[in-house]
A and B are shown apart, each in its own frame.
Chain A
Amino acid sequence: MPNNSTGPARRTGNAWIERLSRRELDRFVERAVLRKVADAGRNAPLYRWYYAKHGIRVENLKTLAEFREVVPPIAKPDILAFQNEGGVRIDDPRNRQFHLTSGTSGVGHELHPRTQSDIAALGTGGAYEFYWAGLVQGDRVLLTMPYSQTMAGPHFHMACEASGLVPINAFFTARTEERIQQLYRFECNGLIATPSYVHRMTLVARAAGRNPAADLPSLRAIVVSGESYGMEWATETAAFWGATLYEGWGATQTLGVVMATCEAGGVPVNASGTPRRGVMHGFDHRCFIEVLEPGTLRPVAPGEVGEIVVTTLRTKGLPSIRFRMGDRVRLLPHGTCGCGRPFSSYEAGTISRLDDMIKIRGMNVWPSAIDAVVFAGPVADYSGRIYTDDRGRESVELLVEPSVAIADAGSFVADLAERIKRHVGVNVDISLIALGSLSEVQFKARRWRDERAVLAGGRGSPAQ
């Protein structure tokens, strides 16, 4: 099938789904959602408990509209409350794996039991992501995600298994230089990492005098997930590595990747040479994705930002039925990408946590917006702090690690502060610190501390 006139040729992972009409896909999704919620209402202890608590019955819903109207969204605290009351059967004979959420929310780890069906389904979303990124059977990819009790490690392994890619496991070494050596040794075709860690690898490779665009020609795709990123950073990173940047989104609750960029990538370039935000496609036949306004829980209009709410269609151990992810995304009009696939569309590169939002002097500020400005320049990493100064005013301080020697520190700091003010709207005090002062990030970064509460109430920081 032809692609849009300026983009790369279409790469099809599964024609049976990707060539459905939007109407056919909608019908499939409606049937699957209604069946899933009815099954969960009858057989899943979590949902029997939750729906009884809300006094609703879900077995005989007839339409997706009815599903949206009747079924209450569920959130992490509900699952934790149920699990803390002994709601998960550790000795259920259908259990084949357990996955814990990473705990970055600070309120606890959800436990997701996986059945054999879940294991079979674990890598399929990742396979779409890899195929669309141009990776094909036999290609080698460097996996840098941690392999632990969380789902990331098993997911990416199973995604390789599902797509026929050969995983090169970088888990065995903590040193970034050694991982880069493996990238070269196995002549990897893909690199799988968070944006923070890709950035770290870029700095280390550059410091070692490597020029992967020229001396690692095998590398075609960098597939990122877990964090947002700026367009300038993405463009420069792609140029340095001589590869295209792609993105996927998923979570423990979704059984892995359920949105990904297609062959157009995370930051496609217009015919005029201008980069723009790419489009992530929802794998609607595997996960029904809603974008809701967090206050009212009403669907947002295309173009607007809201919270991701998921209903998984391929999970058996612990399905997610209208689960509030706590992630914010911009819903795009259907067909925005132009690739012709029937899937729903979301803005690439900008998904971030709703609870990451910081209120600074009455303004809503997302750290990802500051990341985009800071990492557009020669910066290795930074840490941010909000505090109450001696005069009781809210102040913001950034400690910035330049990645190169800065000849005129004063101008550098003034320029960066001015760009942050212009793009994000807040005044910040910036201090430069030596390269390597901040601890190395190998997975998702948490760069911000809110110390206002310490002065106000003498308590610990609520933001951590």
Chain B
Amino acid sequence: MNRQEFKARRERIEAHVQALRRHLVELTNLLHEEDGPLLARLAERVDSLVDETAWELGMGELEWDHDAPKFDHAGLAVADLEKAADFFIGLLGGTLHSGGTNDSAGLRSLIIKYPAGGKIELLQAVADNPVARFVAKRGEGVHHLTFFVKDLRASIEKFERAGCKVVGADFSSPNWWEAYISPPSAHGCLVQIVQVSQAYGKSGEGVTVEDVLADRWEWIDQNPRPRSLPGKS
């Protein structure tokens, strides 16, 4: 094989490895916690072997950082949850993934997924809170962007070292640790960084938009739970 043929073959092989990497990113993004941990683990193992293959081909470190944050959803503050659901489910073709009322935060939410990928969270304030103040001050709109990270503590350290203001770090929930990067540090956007447990993210089986609007589901530890009926505790 002459040098030109070798170079062409090398380029083809490297392109295949890069394509494998892209497919793994897509696969990882498509997998959700509700699929169970096994598939995510297999994807992680395959990915690390692709990385090792690239190294032994002399390609060096592939640019995809395994610990890079994964975008999960955009949170939209709305004034009327029912009307917003009509638009984002009825018109745009989303399906209800989960939802409920978080009594301690004073928020009612609908989490909506789209068949071809992507997720949004509609948030309506049911008490005085930052979302209520956001709507009062700015009107409806994108309230926050949520990124999942593998290690929240390490991420907080990283952003703080870079001079970002990180607020609201909360490690109290078993399924959901979170912190926020303040809008002045994130080009005007509130960025939520979250580390979730394996138990997070199960779809709310049986949850309907009507039930959420009627306050028949509560939102506890990032999972929906039916409220006990009166007299049946």
Contacts and interface: CB of A to CB of B under 8 A. Distances in A.
Instruction: Determine if chain A interacts with chain B.
Output: yes
Contacts of A32: 60-61
Instruction: Enumerate the 4 nearest inter-chain pairs by beta-carbon distance, A residue then B residue, closest first.
Output: A120-B48, A120-B52, A116-B48, A117-B48
Contacts of A94: 67, 150-151
Contacts of B56: 14, 16-17, 124
A28 B58 contact: yes
Nearest to B58: A16
A281 to B, nearest CB: 16
Contacts of B44: 116
Interface string B38-59: 0000001101110110011110
B146 interface: no
B158 interface: yes
Contacts of B102: none
A328 interface: no
B184 to A, nearest CB: 23
Q: Which among A35, A120, A286, A314 has the highest number of chain B CB atoms within 10 Å?
A: A120
Contacts of A337: none
Interface in A309-329: 314
A28 B45 contact: no
Q: Which among A93, A115, A124 has the highest number of chain B CB atoms within 10 Å?
A: A93
A290 B58 CA distance: 21
6 contacts: A16-B57, A16-B58, A31-B60, A93-B195, A285-B55, A285-B58
B66 interface: yes
A401 B10 CA distance: 58
Interface in B136-152: 150-151
Contacts of A28: 58, 60
Contacts of A92: 151, 154
A122 B67 CA distance: 19
Interface of A: 14, 16-17, 20, 28, 31-32, 35, 43, 89, 92-94, 115-117, 119-121, 124, 285-286, 314
For chain B, what secondary structure do more than half of its interface residues adopt (helix, strand, loop), or is it mixed? helix
B66 A117 contact: yes
Interface residues of B, number: 21
Contacts of A14: 56
A286 B61 CA distance: 12
Given A43-B158, A92-B151, A93-B150, A20 B58 contact: yes
B58 A17 contact: yes
Contacts of B158: 43
Nearest to A120: B48
A119 B52 CA distance: 10
Given A43-B158, A116-B44, A124-B52, A93 B151 contact: yes
A117 B45 CA distance: 8
A20 B56 CA distance: 12
A315 to B, nearest CB: 12
A24 B44 CA distance: 31
B150 A120 contact: no
B5 to A, nearest CB: 14
A28 B58 CA distance: 8
B70 to A, nearest CB: 14
A89 B153 CA distance: 10
A124 B60 CA distance: 15
B166 to A, nearest CB: 17
A324 to B, nearest CB: 25
A120 B67 contact: no
A6 B52 CA distance: 35
Contacts of B67: 94
Given A32-B60, A32-B61, 9 more contacts: A16-B57, A89-B153, A92-B151, A93-B151, A120-B52, A285-B55, A285-B58, A286-B55, A314-B55
Contact of B48 (A43, A93, A119, A285): A119
Contact of A120 (B49, B61, B151, B154): B49
B178 to A, nearest CB: 15
Contacts of B48: 116-117, 119-120
Given A116-B45, A117-B48, A120-B51, A35 B151 contact: no
A117 B47 CA distance: 9
B198 to A, nearest CB: 10
Contacts of A16: 56-58
Contacts of A121: 52, 55
Nearest to A31: B60
Contacts of A20: 58
Nearest to B152: A93
Contacts of A117: 48, 51-52, 66
B154 to A, nearest CB: 8
Nearest to A25: B58
A116 B50 CA distance: 12
Interface in B144-185: 150-151, 153-154, 158
